[in-house]
Amino acid sequence: MSTTSDDDRSERRFAVVVNPTKISEALPELINEAAERGGWSEPLWLETTADDPGRRMAQQARDAGVQTVLAVGGDGTVRVVASELAGSGVGLGIVPEGTGNLLARNLGIPLTESEAIAVALGESSRDLDIVRISTDDDASADRFTVMAGLGLDAAIMSNTDEALKAKIGSIAYVAAALQHLGREPRRMRITVDDHRRLERRAILCLIGNVGAVQGDIELIPGALPDDGLLDVVVASPRRLRHWFAVALRLITRRERSGDRIDQLTGRRVVVEIDQPEDYELDGDTIGQCRRLVAEIEPGALQVRAPVDDR
Ligand SMILES: Nc1ncnc2c1ncn2[C@@H]1O[C@H](COP(=O)(O)OP(=O)(O)OP(=O)(O)O)[C@@H](O)[C@H]1O
């Protein structure tokens, strides 16, 4: 019988999917020490590459039968690892090393390496929704955890100066948004849960699982990562005063009347656009599409995070 506890112990193993271009020299040592302290076996160390930001590595970790995978890197690394772990029951730990660190910030995961590692290997876990997404005729699905954006938002993400973003956070987004003032709106048709339909000449459509972006800007008020719902925001400013209202919403983090913003919630969202438009997932511009389908997968992702005390 005494072998039972030994077996249990040897079975406690985690993997580290790490973007090696993002980490400090001290990180491997910090992780190994934490593993030893917590009674884990030697971690399975898997590095991402320029061609694969973590997809194959997360699959490898899952196949190896680990209980937890630590995603160490920026939002791109975290998104891809989360996408592969969804529905598997394998826990996700996050050691944020990017500039945005959107999911970590939204979940109150510490931004310093040693504290983040402690949370990632700790007992506290939350079941989060994740969003399955497909674009145009591409049947292969991808996923995001924070938000998808079409239009202005994707343009901002690809244009926002990285150094500025690191220094002044939200102001950089507003500065980038102002560069796009006067951007041509696109005819967008948004269908929620197959029956509610909205047609707008819009500059931006956000589909959010989580409401806040960098600098604690609450882009989608009320969006919660574990309510089983997607929150959709469509901005269709026509006149300068509408633009100002949109900017004010960003700055004051409050819903405003008269800012030409529609907000809807549902489980499945289809966006159709009259011509190809940029889209981003969790802050990374992915490409262009004319049709995007997003579907919530409630509670499919187990994230090691501090207890939610809202
Ligand atoms: N070994 C590697 N060598 C070079 N580039 C890599 C390597 N591993 C990953 N990458 C690149 O890093 C990118 C992912 O970066 P990651 O999301 O970790 O940080 P980030 O984009 O700077 O984060 P943030 O958006 O939060 O600032 C991918 O586009 C990938 O091409």
Domain with 22 in it: what CATH number? 3.40.50.10330
Domain membership flag for residue 183: yes
Shared domain for 214 and 261, answered yes or no, is yes
Does residue 162 sit in the same domain as residue 99?
no
Is the residue at 138 inside a domain? yes
Same domain, 118 and 136: no
Residue from 24, 55, 77, 95 whose mutation best tests the ligand 1 pocket (most atoms within 8 A of CB) = 77
Instruction: Name, in order, each residue with C-beta under 8 angstroms of 146's C-beta and a sequence gap of 6 or more.
Output: 75, 79, 102, 103, 106, 208, 209, 210, 213, 282, 283
Give the per-residue pLDDT at 160: 60
Residues 52 and 166 reside in one and the same domain:
no
> Which structural domain, as residue segments, surrounds residue 107?
2-123
Last residue of a domain, one of 98, 123, 148: 123
Q: Closest ligand 1 atom, CA of 76?
A: 17
| Residue 90 within a domain | yes
Claim to verify: residue 90 and residue 156 sit in the same structural domain: no
Number of Cα atoms under 13 Å in the Cβ half of residue 262: 19
281 within domain boundaries: yes
Interface predicted TM-score (ipTM)? 0.97
Q: Tell me what pLDDT residue 120 has.
A: 98
Q: Measured in angstroms, how far is the CA atom of residue 229 from the centroid of ligand 1? A: 29
What would the two tokens of residue 289 be?
């599409």
Residue 310: what pLDDT? Answer: 59
Report d(CA 171, CA 290) in Å as an integer. Answer: 30
φ, ψ dihedrals at 231, nearest 5° = -115, 125
Amino acid at 201: R
Q: Based on the domain organization, do 55 and 24 belong to the same domain?
A: yes
35 and 88 assigned to the same domain: yes
Q: Has residue 308 been placed in a domain?
A: no
pLDDT recorded at residue 215? 46
Same domain, 116 and 187: no
Contact 124, 143 (CB under 8 A): no
Pocket of ligand 1 (CB under 6 A): 19-22, 47-50, 53, 73-77, 98-101, 283
Write the residue with the smallest CA distance to atom 19 of ligand 1.
74
Any domain includes 270: yes
Q: Which of 123, 145, 169 is the last residue of a domain?
A: 123
> Ligand 1: which of 16, 17, 18, 19 to mutate, judged by most atoms within 8 Å of the beta carbon?
19
Residue 203 lies in a domain: yes
Indicate the number of domains in the chain: 2
What's the pLDDT score for residue 195? 87
Output the CA 307–ligand 1 centroid distance in Å: 29
Asked whether residue 307 is domain-assigned, the answer is no
pLDDT of res. 5 = 45
Q: Rounded to the nearest 10 degrees, how much is the dihedral formed by the CA atoms of 85, 89, 95, 97?
A: 10
Q: Are residues 42 and 151 in the same domain?
A: no
118 plus 138 within the same structural domain: no
- Quick one: 156 and 287 in the same domain? yes
Distance 97 CA to ligand 1 centre (A): 10
CA of 95 to the centre of ligand 1 (A): 14
> What is the CATH classification number for the domain harbouring 176?
2.60.200.40
Alpha-carbon gap, residue 79 to 281, rounded angstroms: 8
Domain end marker among 105, 123, 141: 123
Considering the domain architecture, whether residues 141 and 119 belong to the same structural domain is answered as no
Residues facing 144 on adjacent strands? 131
Ligand 1 center–CA 19 separation, angstroms: 6
Q: Which residues of the chain have pLDDT under 70?
A: 1-10, 139, 153, 155-183, 211-223, 239-259, 309-310
Q: What is the CA radius of gyration of the chain?
A: 20
Distance 257 CA to ligand 1 centre (A): 39
Q: DSSP characters for 201-249?
A: EESEEEEESS-EEGGGEESSTT--TTSS-EEEEEE---SHHHHHHHHHH
pLDDT digits (tens, 9 = 90+) for 126-174: 999 999 999 997 767 799 998 898 987 676 666 665 555 555 455 556 6
